[in-house]
Amino acid sequence: MIDQINAILPQTQCGQCGFKGCRPYAQAIASGAADINQCPPGGDEGIIELARLLGVSPKPLNTQFGHHKPKSVAFIVEQDCIGCAKCLAVCPVDAISGAAKFMHTIITSECTGCELCITPCPVDCIIMKPAPIYTNKSSTLKTAQAQLAKRRYDARCLRKENENVEKAERARKQKEALIKKQASSMQQQ
């Protein structure tokens, strides 16, 4: 059921629903912890599909979570970018390319328009522009974009999870080494 709900969600990964991405929101809907009308990017169309899947009545979007608006993509005004990499750290689908102290750029075809990179930018050089790919309203293109975003989000989550495991392992080894060092210095005394 979680997968079926997640397949309906737009994969913008913006967190406006109150969860850290579409899948956590899908899990919350499946468990009854969240309502079906909390996703502004999905809008009424998404709510109707969710209601159909779950066999409940559709309801209007809860605007406490935001308003539905046309799809957009981020764009970096490159001459103003100072290369701080703060945007890189927050992009949920790794759609930003760049390295510390170098100019960054957005990979437009991979940007979901989540806007999460706007606030961390210290020089306000990230702006939103209408997404060119959605102007023809093709549902096939929409689905392909959502699937790509889902794959990139899943890959990023896995990478973060692995990084956290490695970090915890490093900390554990450091602690172990410290305890051994303290024990050996106590023995010598």
Q: Which residues bind ligand SF4 (CB under 6 A)?
A: 9-10, 12-17, 19, 21-22, 25, 39-42, 74, 76, 81-87, 90-91, 93, 95-96, 98, 104, 106, 111-117, 120-121, 123, 125-126
Min. distance of Cβ 1 from ligand SF4 in angstroms? 15
Min. distance of Cβ 164 from ligand SF4 in angstroms? 20
What are the angstrom distances between the C-alpha of 172 and each of 56, 73, 168, 178?
49, 41, 6, 10
Return the number of other C-beta atoms located less than 10 Å from residue 92's C-beta: 22
Q: Which is nearer to ligand SF4, 130 or 168 (CB)?
A: 130
Contact 92, 116 (CB under 8 A): yes
Q: Which is nearer to ligand SF4, 111 or 145 (CB)?
A: 111
Min. distance of Cβ 64 from ligand SF4 in angstroms? 12
What is the C-alpha separation between 23 and 124, in angstroms, rounded? 30
Q: Which is nearer to ligand SF4, 135 or 182 (CB)?
A: 135
Report how far apart the first and last C-alpha atoms of the chain are (Å, whole number): 63
Min. distance of Cβ 169 from ligand SF4 in angstroms? 29
| Structure-token match 């750029």, residue found | 105
